[in-house]
Amino acid sequence: MNKIEVHNIYKIFGPHPDRWMGAARDGVSKDALLERSGHTLGLRNISLSIEAGHIHVIMGLSGSGKSTLIRHFNRLIEPSAGQILVDGVDVMGLKPRELEKFRQQKMSMVFQRFGLLPHRTVLDNVAYGLTVRGVRRSEREARAHHWLEQVGLTGFESQYPYQLSGGMQQRVGLARALATDAEILLMDEAFSALDPLIRHEMQDQLLALQAQLNRTIVFITHDLDEALRLGNRIAILKDGELVQEGTPEDILLSPANDYIEAFLQDVNRGKVLNASHALVERTLTLTMRTQPVHALERLVARGYSYVTVLDGKRLAGVLMRADAQRAVREGARDISRHLSDMASVPASAGLDEVLARLLCNPEPVAVTDDQGDFIGVLSRSKVVELVTPSASGEPPQQAA
């Protein structure tokens, strides 16, 4: 289900946006529009769906329109054209009272500079959104305590923001946003002011919380590694336009254009792509009950030196060609006693980890799902090509 949908949003900043809508639709460049009219093209024809329970990352360089886009979601900014639906409701149709309620209840924001109230304690800061909503003191304090515990700040309730480190202040900001029970969190560069180690910790914490909470999170970042780590999906903006939108894998495996490719250059691909992306195209499998002659025939016909053998959906082992020949010579009824163990990795294993496994294991390696059922066999060449696409000289999606 889509929590947020935007349809064909345009935003032109300046005194007479309507006059320049035609030019914006006709594709005038951002620079040309500014020069000609003094108006800034904030967003051009953006359509985007954000699924409930997902972390949707919005990426792009400074000035590309990220903040402008998410401020449309709670109507802090009104579009020059286009439609914004939240839970199917057109936010432009909300009356002032409804809008106020909508902002208080549906969404909370977390900012880069924490935005804490300096003269209030940590506890009061976290309870603030509830105060605004008229929640009783005892209840809001109980909830504030709960969320402070969730972000690891129990014991700091009566401190003031200036007494906390940046990372701790950001945790307070996060606790405050979570405490309102808003279904949607808008996080604008929320972790960008933190040093790398703390930032990584906050990412882990957000992922751990999200695993329980299932909020809908729109997360703005400049940082591609952060985007790939957090995002179920990622939207990349450039000069107010949406250049590409998709899962991290979509974007890594088939970048829409040179701009995205340049963006992706320094990514740690081995962490984003996993074993499921590097399967052998068509895998021959046999069952345990296969007769040795038939197994050998199949191996010879395809020129294979081994074949994977399944027991139901489970991986039973691997039959090497020499063992198939031996089974035939010995007149075995089936191949079940002639199997060797087959190494396996879970589908979710990152390719960097997989690569390490392959280096110390010359034998074929199977890939299994969460339940331990067989999915396929790893392709060594694919692993290498996916991790180092430039080395192969071919775009990864064309890999054999």
Ligand X SMILES: Nc1ncnc2c1ncn2[C@@H]1O[C@H](COP(=O)(O)OP(=O)(O)OP(=O)(O)O)[C@@H](O)[C@H]1O
192 binds ligand X (CB under 6 A): no
The residue range among 57-65, 169-177, 196-204, 299-307 that interacts with ligand X, by the rule CB under 6 A, is 57-65
Residue 67 in contact with ligand X, rule: CB under 6 A: yes
Q: How many Cα atoms sit within 13 Å of 237 on the Cβ side?
A: 28
Candidate segments 66-74, 202-210, 211-219, 236-244, binder of Mg ion by CB under 5 A = 66-74
CA distance 82 to 47: 9
Determine the size of the site formed for ligand X (CB under 6 A): 12
Q: By CB under 6 A, which span of 56-64, 96-104, 125-133, 270-278 interacts with ligand X?
A: 56-64
* Contact flag: residue 60 with ligand X (CB under 6 A): yes
Q: How many CB atoms lie within 10 A of CB 388?
A: 13
Stretch binding ligand X (CB under 6 A), from 60-68, 158-166, 198-206, 267-275: 60-68
304 binds ligand X (CB under 6 A): no
In the bound state with Mg ion, the residue whose beta carbon lies nearer, of 67 and 216, is 67
**314-320/306-311 β-pairing:** antiparallel
Please report whether residue 308 would count as binding Mg ion according to CB under 5 A. Answer: no
Q: Which of 3, 66, 145, 382 binds ligand X (CB under 6 A)?
A: 66
Q: In the 8-state DSSP scheme, what is residue 24?
A: H
Instruction: Sketch the per residue contact string, 195 through 234, with ligand X: x for CB under 6 A, - otherwise.
Output: ---------------------------x------------
Distance CA 360, CA 380 (A): 12
Rounded (5°) CA angle 250-209-155? 145
- The residue (of 107 and 123) whose beta carbon lies closer to Mg ion is 107
Query: Is the Cβ–Cβ distance between 218 and 49 less than 8 Å?
Result: no
The verdict on 42 binding ligand X (CB under 6 A) reads: yes
Residue closer to ligand X by CB (options 62, 305) is 62
| The one segment of 64-72, 85-93, 161-169, 291-299 that binds ligand X by CB under 6 A | 64-72
Residue 62 lies near ligand X (rule: CB under 6 A): yes
Amino acid identity of residue 124, one-letter, is D
Q: Can you read off the two tokens belonging to residue 375?
A: 């999915």
**Can you tell me which of 53, 63, 115, 246 binds ligand X, judged by CB under 6 A?**
63
Question: Of these, 7, 13, 304, 346, which contacts ligand X (CB under 6 A)?
Answer: 13
Q: Does 67 engage in binding with Mg ion (CB under 5 A)?
A: yes
| Residue 317 found at the interface with ligand X (CB under 6 A) | no
Smallest distance from ligand X to CB 66, Å: 4
Choice between 54 and 238, CB closer to ligand X? 238
Supply φ then ψ for residue 23, to 5 degrees: -60, -40
Closest separation in Å from C-beta 188 to Mg ion: 6
Measured in degrees and rounded to the nearest 5, phi and psi for residue 195 equal -75, 160
Q: Whose Cβ is closer to Mg ion: residue 61's or residue 300's?
A: 61
Instruction: Sheet containing 365-368: give its strands across.
Output: 343-346, 365-368, 374-377
Query: Residue 248 half-sphere exposure, CB side, CA atoms within 13 Å?
Result: 21
**40 interacts with, out of ligand X, Mg ion, none, CB within 5 to 8 A per kind:** ligand X
Min CB(57)–ligand X separation in Å: 13
Tell me the CB-side half-sphere exposure of residue 171, using CA atoms within 13 A: 26
Only one of the segments 64-72, 179-187, 231-239, 350-358 lies at the binding site for Mg ion (rule: CB under 5 A); that segment is: 64-72
Q: How many CB atoms lie within 10 A of CB 337?
A: 12
Beta strand ranges found along the chain (DSSP E): 2-13, 40-51, 55-59, 81-86, 89-90, 107-111, 184-188, 216-221, 233-238, 241-246, 285-287, 306-311, 314-320, 343-346, 365-368, 374-377
To ligand X, the closest distance from the beta carbon of 62 in angstroms equals 3
Q: What DSSP state is assigned to residue 371?
A: T
H helices of 314-379, in order, are: 321-330, 351-359
Stretch of residues binding ligand X (CB under 6 A), selected from 66-74, 82-90, 311-319, 382-390: 66-74
Pseudo-torsion of CA 255, 62, 50, 224, nearest 10°?
50
Q: Candidates 2, 40, 247, 287: give the one binding ligand X (CB under 6 A).
A: 40
CA 211/CA 381 separation, integer angstroms: 34
Residues that bind Mg ion (CB under 5 A): 67
User: Footprint of ligand X on this chain (CB under 6 A)?
Assistant: 13, 40, 42, 60, 62-68, 222
